Structure 1
């Protein structure tokens, strides 16, 4: 039996996400789904995962596994260590699927269900080898979010439970083991409570779908993402802690603030209202576009948490360590008052995430800051988003940075740009970065070439771009040669 082979039964959004999670972590994946579009749909989900999951951590993932599609459940589960069932939420259908799955799986195969509502005992009932069936309920997108609710019953042996936890951990996930089963497990019960209240807020005309989502994503949702519920409230209690928080806010639980136990009827009118508002909010995006936007945002958030070794970032950090161990000023130049001196192209504070182990700005961040400054200068001569969208841009051919001082967290830094040459395809820049005291902390010399994005080769810029660049180059030609221009490594 291959120790890294999994079967996916049901290839919808969740099944496809599981396939991507296993596949990109080096497992061979065998899929069964009678949908004739299953291969296309899963392929699209995996394509999204390939664009996002590898960038989640700082260590390369294992070599991708082999993906195959099969005509029967028996073929799909042959020789696998893990079976993940993700068929629609109908108990009769799931039990029918398990009747076939359990007939063909090995004695040590773990069979997990993605069910968001059914208890494991309901899935185990009447099945051969029921002790091998557990609930492993993930959250969408499965290939990025680490939480998976592992729900077991007393007939599941400790050895199997430990193996399930270990396998899920090797996939970069966080198995939350629920030893006592309940309908909808734990996390979805929270979601259901929020969902019920949201339905009432729409029903009563208090808020729209977009306003409700804004309240979550711009407020408490960000807090929950890194501290959860109780730790957030503990902090809210101040130095006196959780006890003070409960004594202060606990009585509010008796006030009629919510309609939590009373759910509105999902009438056609309410369904239409919700659907119309959702269309107005997000209908101009396709589902795949929304997925890509969501994925990019999640990667950014989790990588931010990674640096703090907190929440989902701590899970990713641990996952990276395991893999390592196993694998060994938006103005046009025409609007600038005085072009006889270098142009201000950046003014910003140094964020803490830009610091390195020496307590000052990392060298890669100097390049990022200078790159942003040259991008700004490009915009100032008219090489803006619209120009680039029409097929013209500048590519950096060579960069030389000199580190002359230190920039620390919170320090205000500015970058002034001098044009050394601006003619034809060439744009030769020299940039100085100064701190708030006016001390030069770094310089950057950069040679850029105008390029056609259609041919990906150097080409003359549009006349208005060359005219603007030439205007600045002529104005700057009277400036003294900047110290460090043309310097080689180690020279002053």
Structure 2
């Protein structure tokens, strides 16, 4: 398949996040930004993304694409199939940039704008090809948060909209198609309402910046992360549901609780007060440190949602399924060219929540990784979910792990597995974990096949026996791998 190319026009915080999202999902990325610091800034964003994004996936990401920086806009966008504009929020500037882009880009390229405020019809005015331009408004950090507001007009053909959605999903994003344009789209209108009210609370001396933030993150912010607004209120209505909630709390909307129609004047006093309170609240951390704290928290929450296949976690699981399709981990034992060689049973990145206070992977997570590799090997020989549902499985009787080297968050690891013994009810596996050429750890597992009804050892199915016999025949005469048999006796 031809290498996919994305052009990033404007390499600030948002443009850098887009670059990381494309790059770490295997796209080549060309960046155009006249800022002489653009390469440094995007490099720092990429450092954070490489540390956090791969750990959201329990499947191997594709090899990282190639990043290049260009002084010529036409050169950057030529042959790109996706062009993401993230220049400052000035309509005249955006229209000027689009004219130059469309003079050089492929007519089939998608031109997405990161704008948080302008409507696509405003961006399309005077354009040579209005149907090529859509709003694709992301949320910071773009490399972690899945929501993209895809806002279109009647000028955009259905085929282009479908293609845009497919490409965004392929990046692990959630394209929310906003079919009727409005200023600031959907999500930022909510943020604007909360922002206005927060400014009044600070101006009137009712709350500090820290107290406003605590009210959000200790309460409804957590609820919103997994259920949103209306589903949260549906639950609040109890068994009677949403109608009861509206009847009970609807009248409160007539009370003067909020000042959403007014904005406090941005006086020097108000700006100084907010800046001073913010410095007192968060000034002990640099911006880069705050980004890493934010990223770690986001990854932890989204991985928790992933375990329940809910909200943003369901998006991540969908991306894992796409990544696993066609990877070397797909297939079964019959698909292996040489089953006597170590078999790739795990390929993934180390997530942030696998690291400990020393900054490297926690010893318990080595066991988790080796357990996942054992599960994958069981699937390869036929002990899959359907087989287990039928009443047979393997139970681990002994485990021995050697910790040989450390590995940090974001590092891509692989586990390769050898079957030292597979006969009757016994299964003896030896795993090696690598990060590139470095051997990080070995894990040795001895398992017994068990009847799940009697909970006693018993022989496996003929299919599993045949698969193990094929591997044993391919391994015949090979020595034990280094480190095997020291704590769990090797087969004689």
TM-score (norm: length of structure 1): 0.68
1:130-145 aligned within 5 A: 130-145=130-145
Displacement after TM superposition at 1:398 (Å): 9.8
Aligned to 2:197: 197
Residues 76-110 of structure 1: CA deviation (Å, up to 9, x unaligned): 00101000000011111111111101111111100
Residues 322-346 of structure 1: CA deviation (Å, up to 9, x unaligned): 0111434xxxxxxxxxxxxxxxxxx
SS at match of 2:289: helix
Moved over 2 A (4+): 354-359, 396-403, 486-490
Aligned to 2:477: none
Aligned to 1:262: 262
Aligned to 1:274: 274
1:86-101 aligned within 5 A: 86-101=86-101
SS at match of 2:325: helix
Task: Judge conservation of contact 1:2–1:80 (CA < 8 Å) in 2.
Answer: no
Residues 410-464 of structure 1: CA deviation (Å, up to 9, x unaligned): xxxxxxxxxxxxxxxxxxxxxxxxxxxxxxxxxxxxxxxxxxxxxxxxxxxxxxx
Cα distance 1:62–1:257, how it changes in 2: closer, same or farther (>3 A)? same
Residues 173-205 of structure 1: CA deviation (Å, up to 9, x unaligned): 000000111110000000000000000000011
1:296 aligns with 2:296: yes
Task: Judge conservation of contact 1:3–1:81 (CA < 8 Å) in 2.
Answer: no
**Take 2:252 and 2:300, find their aligned partners in 1: how far apart are those partners?**
36
Displacement after TM superposition at 1:262 (Å): 1.2
Aligned to 2:325: 325
Aligned to 2:57: 57
**Take 2:243 and 2:34, find their aligned partners in 1: how far apart are those partners?**
55
**Take 2:66 and 2:487, find their aligned partners in 1: how far apart are those partners?**
51
Cα distance 1:487–1:63, how it changes in 2: closer, same or farther (>3 A)? closer
1:306 aligns with 2:306: yes
SS at match of 1:310: coil
Q: What count of residue pairs does the alignment treat as equivalent? A: 354
Task: Judge conservation of contact 2:28–2:65 (CA < 8 Å) in 1.
Answer: yes
Task: Judge conservation of contact 1:210–1:281 (CA < 8 Å) in 2.
Answer: yes
Cα distance 1:235–1:290, how it changes in 2: closer, same or farther (>3 A)? same
Aligned to 2:358: none
Aligned to 1:125: 125
Cα distance 1:204–1:29, how it changes in 2: closer, same or farther (>3 A)? same
Larger RCO (CA within 8 A; separation ≥ 6): 2
SS at match of 1:30: strand
Task: Judge conservation of contact 2:81–2:110 (CA < 8 Å) in 1.
Answer: yes
1:170-185 aligned within 5 A: 170-185=170-185
Aligned to 2:187: 187
Aligned to 2:25: 25
**Take 1:294 and 1:78, find their aligned partners in 2: how far apart are those partners?**
35
**Take 1:397 and 1:25, find their aligned partners in 2: how far apart are those partners?**
27
Residues 142-179 of structure 1: CA deviation (Å, up to 9, x unaligned): 00000000000001000000000000000000000001
1:432-471 aligned within 5 A: none
Which runs of 5 or more residues in structure 2 are unaligned? Answer: 331-370, 376-384, 390-394, 402-439, 448-485
Aligned to 2:466: none
Task: Judge conservation of contact 2:3–2:28 (CA < 8 Å) in 1.
Answer: no
Displacement after TM superposition at 1:127 (Å): 1.1
**Take 2:209 and 2:12, find their aligned partners in 1: how far apart are those partners?**
25
Higher Rg of the two aligned structures = 1
Task: Judge conservation of contact 1:2–1:79 (CA < 8 Å) in 2.
Answer: no
Displacement after TM superposition at 1:3 (Å): 5.4
1:7 aligns with 2:4: no
Aligned to 1:458: none
**Take 2:77 and 2:487, find their aligned partners in 1: how far apart are those partners?**
64
Task: Judge conservation of contact 1:2–1:81 (CA < 8 Å) in 2.
Answer: no
1:282-431 aligned within 5 A: 282-327=282-327, 328=330
Task: Judge conservation of contact 1:151–1:177 (CA < 8 Å) in 2.
Answer: yes
**Take 1:101 and 1:208, find their aligned partners in 2: how far apart are those partners?**
45
Cα distance 1:291–1:153, how it changes in 2: closer, same or farther (>3 A)? same
SS at match of 1:278: helix
Task: Judge conservation of contact 2:169–2:319 (CA < 8 Å) in 1.
Answer: yes
**Take 2:204 and 2:75, find their aligned partners in 1: how far apart are those partners?**
52
Task: Judge conservation of contact 2:8–2:15 (CA < 8 Å) in 1.
Answer: yes
SS at match of 1:104: coil
**Take 1:140 and 1:309, find their aligned partners in 2: how far apart are those partners?**
22
Cα distance 1:261–1:489, how it changes in 2: closer, same or farther (>3 A)? farther
**Take 2:131 and 2:200, find their aligned partners in 1: how far apart are those partners?**
41
TM-score (norm: length of structure 2): 0.68
Displacement after TM superposition at 1:308 (Å): 0.1
**Take 2:70 and 2:488, find their aligned partners in 1: how far apart are those partners?**
61
Task: Judge conservation of contact 2:400–2:488 (CA < 8 Å) in 1.
Answer: no
Aligned to 1:442: none
**Take 1:179 and 1:367, find their aligned partners in 2: how far apart are those partners?**
56
Cα distance 1:487–1:122, how it changes in 2: closer, same or farther (>3 A)? closer
